[in-house]
Amino acid sequence: MSDNNAKTTKTNAEKHDFIRAIIREDIAKGKYPQIHTRFPPEPNGFLHVGHAKAICTSFGIAEEFGGVCNLRFDDTNPTAEKQDYVDSIKQDVAWLGYKWEGAPRYTSSYFDQLHTWAVQLIKQGDAYVDFQTLEEIRENRGSFKEVGKASPQRDTSVADNLKYFEDMTAGKYKEGEAVLRAKIDMSHPNMNMRDPVIYRVMHETHHQTADKWCVYPMYDYAHPLSDAIENISHSLCTLEFEDHRPFYDWVIDKIGFNPRPHQYEFSRLNINYTLTSKRKLKVLVDENIVSGWDDPRMPTIAGMRRRGYTPEGIRDFCDRVGLSKADGVVDFRLLEFSIRQSLESITARGMAVLRPLKVTITNFDEAVAQWQELKAESVNARFDDTNNTLWLTQPKHPNVDMGEREIPFTKEIYIDQNDYELEPPKGYKRLSPEKPEIRLRNTYCLAVTEHILDAKGQVVELKATIDPTTLGNNPAGRKVKGVIHWVSASQGVPATVRLYEQLFNDENPGSAEDVHEVLNPNSLTVLQAVVEPSLANVNAGSRFQFERESYFIADSVEHTVEKPVFNQIVSLRDSFKPA
Ligand code: ATP
Ligand code: MG
pLDDT in tens, 392-429: 999 999 999 999 999 999 999 999 999 999 999 998 99
Q: How far is the CA of 195 from the centre of ligand 1 (A)?
A: 25
Task: Report pLDDT for 376.
Answer: 67
Q: Answer whether 361 contacts ligand 1 (Cβ < 6 A).
A: no
- The pLDDT of 355-381, averaged and rounded, is 88
What 3-state DSSP class applies to 392? strand
Among 15, 149, 268, 280, the one annotated catalytic:
268
Average pLDDT over residues 56-76: 97
Residues 260-277 have a mean pLDDT of 97
Mean local confidence (pLDDT), 77-90: 89
Q: How far is the CA of 18 from the centre of ligand 2 (A)?
A: 23
CA of 44 to the centre of ligand 2 (A): 9
Among protein residues, the one with the nearest Cα to ligand 1's atom 26 is: 50
What is the mean predicted confidence (pLDDT) over 519-544? 97
- Please indicate whether residue 41, judged by its CB atom, sits closer than 6 Å to ligand 1: yes
* Sign of the C-alpha dihedral computed for residues 323, 328, 331 and 332 taken in this order: positive
CA distance 444 to 466: 6
**Which residue minimizes the CA distance to atom 17 of ligand 1?**
237
Compare 373 and 572 and report the one with higher pLDDT.
572
Question: Which ligand is closest to the CA of 237, given by its number?
Answer: 1
**Smallest CA separation from ligand 1 atom 13, residue:** 41
Alpha carbon of residue 270 to chain centroid: 13
Q: Summarize the confidence of residues 214-231 as an average pLDDT.
A: 97
Judge whether residue 78 has pLDDT over 80.
yes
Q: What is the pLDDT of residue 5?
A: 38
**pLDDT score at 6:** 38
Q: In the prediction, which pLDDT does 539 show?
A: 97
126: pLDDT strictly greater than 90: yes
Catalytic pick among 200, 245, 278, 411: 278
The distance in angstroms from the start CA to the end CA of the chain is: 22
Q: CB of 290 closer than 6 A to ligand 1?
A: no
Q: For residues 566-576, give the mean pLDDT.
A: 93
Confirm or reject: Cβ of 122 under 6 Å from ligand 1: no
Q: Which of 51, 271, 275, 323 for mutating ligand 1's site (highest number of atoms within 8 Å of CB)?
A: 51
Is residue 501 helix, strand or coil?
A: coil
Chain segment 284-294, per-residue pLDDT in tens: 999 999 999 99
The reply to whether 278 belongs to the active site is: yes
Q: What φ, ψ does residue 188 adopt, rounded to 5°?
A: -60, 135
pLDDT at 2 > cutoff 70: no
How do beta strands 493-500 and 565-571 pair? parallel
What is the average pLDDT value for the chain, to the nearest integer? 95
Residue 239 has pLDDT above 70, yes or no: yes
Q: What percent of the chain has pLDDT over 70?
A: 98
* pLDDT bucket at 15, cuts 50 / 70 / 90: confident
**In the prediction, which pLDDT does 125 show?**
98
Does the CB atom of residue 204 touch ligand 1 within 6 A? no
Confidence band for 82, pLDDT divided at 50, 70 and 90: confident
Average pLDDT (186-200) is 97
Is residue 1 very low, low, confident or very high in pLDDT (cuts 50, 70, 90)?
Answer: very low
- State yes or no: cis peptide before 259, omega within 30 of 0: yes
Q: From the CA of 241, which ligand is nearest?
A: 1
Closest ligand 1 atom, residue 268 Cα = 28
Distance separating alpha carbons of residues 36 and 67, to the nearest angstrom: 6
**Does position 157 have pLDDT exceeding 80, yes or no?**
yes
User: pLDDT value at position 373?
Assistant: 77
Number of other CB atoms surrounding residue 114 within 10 Å? 20
Helices (H), 154-267: 158-169, 219-229, 245-255
The CB of 51 under 6 Å from ligand 1? The reply is yes
Predicted local distance difference test score (pLDDT) of residue 565: 98
Give yes or no for residue 278 CB within 6 A of ligand 1. yes
Residue 578 has a pLDDT of: 81
Summarize the confidence of residues 512-539 as an average pLDDT: 96
Could you confirm whether 437 is annotated as catalytic?
no
Any atom of ligand 1 within 6 Å of the Cβ of 237: yes
Phi, psi of 228 (to 5 degrees): -65, -45
Tell me how many degrees the CA angle 486-492-498 measures, rounded to the nearest 5: 80
CA of 511 to the centre of ligand 2 (A): 18
Does 441 participate in catalysis according to the annotation?
no
**Most informative mutation of 74, 235, 238 for ligand 1 (most atoms within 8 A of CB):** 238
Using one digit for the tens of pLDDT, what is the confidence trace for 159-176? 999 999 999 999 999 999
**What pLDDT, in 10s, does the model give residues 301-334?**
999 999 999 999 999 999 999 999 999 999 999 9
- Residue 54, pLDDT > 70, answer yes
Say which amino acid occupies 574.
D
pLDDT score at 16: 85
Find the 402 Cα to ligand 1 centroid distance in Å: 40
